[in-house]
Amino acid sequence: MQCGYFERHECRSCTFMGQAYAEQLAGKDRAARAGLAEAVGDSAWREPLASRESQFRNKAKLVVGGTPGAVTLGILDGDRRGVDLRRCGLHEPVVAQAIPVLADWIDDLRLLPYDVAKRRGELKHVHVTGSPAEELMVRVVLRGDSQAQRVRDGLEDLQAALPHLRVATVNYLPEHVALLEGDDEEVLTPARTLAMDLGRLTLHLGPRSFFQTNTAVAVGLYEQARDWVAEQAPASLLDLYCGVGGFGLFAATLPDAPTVLGVEVSADAVASARHTAESLRDSGTATNRVEFRCGDAGSELPDAECVVVNPPRRGVGDELCAAIESSNAATLIYSSCNPTTLARDLAALPTFAVTDARLFDMFPQTPHAEVVVRATR
């Protein structure tokens, strides 16, 4: 993949840009194997799952810069000035096509971009998520309510310009902090969730629900974990850091499905997971118990024969590792975006032996990847 932004040094986020994709993937796989060598033997590794090298991102989280009527959508440079990246080649076509339309719409509304250096202005970010059905969720992140009415009044024009717009919201982030969103969300459309058809099931994403950036590779990840659950045939499965419930819900569709309990700190994500679980029950796709609770994954560890964890980059940590180690679980499936913390946590789980490992390339053009392992005892 070639990128003019990268070549002009306007954006250097994709550090592997210009390198042949096959070389990128092979290098990531070697790095993951080396970083996990003490915990994962060579025979455990499976072939990595590749991605499209461009047009793979289902979401864009864009910093707004510039001036009213001439905004930039992209990132900030070293001087905290907006760099426009509206033609970035990483985004799925439905997202890529929406970004210039959104820029024009924002210009027409004369929204005032937030100036980070001066700490003034209103419009901070625009988030765009696309579904496999090419529907869109658009979230406008404002500092306060002073320009929110312009967004509300302009919604009809945006819907006319983006006919596949399903969910639109205003998110409020009043603090001067390096965050992409705040806690307060105002939904402007009748629809509150974006349906993500993943083939085997449809997830329902709320505005503040986390979902993997690369839809096709996420499906591969969930299917791999489902196959491992099928081989182990546990009666019960505990899905920690479950997000919108992808791992647990895919397992719930097995012919001989375990009972599933998912635990997640985000109330919005739990609501999304429950929505999908209810749909699976109504359709008869999931016939066993499927439940999701809002809570800290480390605060409770109900008994289960199989534990699935998908923590943030910091990993699981000593306390939860100790709880898993002392539990009755016979199988652990651990999905990680950080091989360093994965290696640390596996070292803290000495009674589990890794039988399978695989890299999933969620993030082409960068050194980042997802690694999932199955460990048993």
- The residues annotated as belonging to the active site are 337
Q: Which residue in 100, 49, 374 sits closest to 237, CA to CA?
A: 374
Please identify which residue in the block is written with the tokens 């790095």. Answer: 31
Find the angle CA(50)-CA(51)-CA(55) to the nearest 5 degrees: 165
Q: Which residues contact 65 (CB under 8 A, 6 or more apart)?
A: 71, 72, 74, 76, 81, 82, 83, 84, 113
Read off the tokens for 23: 């070389």
* Alpha carbon distance 271, 254 (integer Å): 22
Count of residues in the chain: 377
32 with 361: CB under 8 angstroms? Answer: no
Distances (CA, A) of 298 to 24, 244, 320: 35, 18, 5
Determine the distance from the C-alpha atom of residue 81 to the mean position of all C-alpha atoms in its chain, rounded to a whole number: 27
Q: Which residue in 9, 17, 33, 85 sits closest to 369, CA to CA?
A: 33
* Cα dihedral 42, 46, 49, 50 sign: positive
Strand (E) or helix (H) holding 333: strand 331-336
Read off the tokens for 183: 């806690």
**Paired sense of beta strands 59-67 and 123-130, if any:** antiparallel
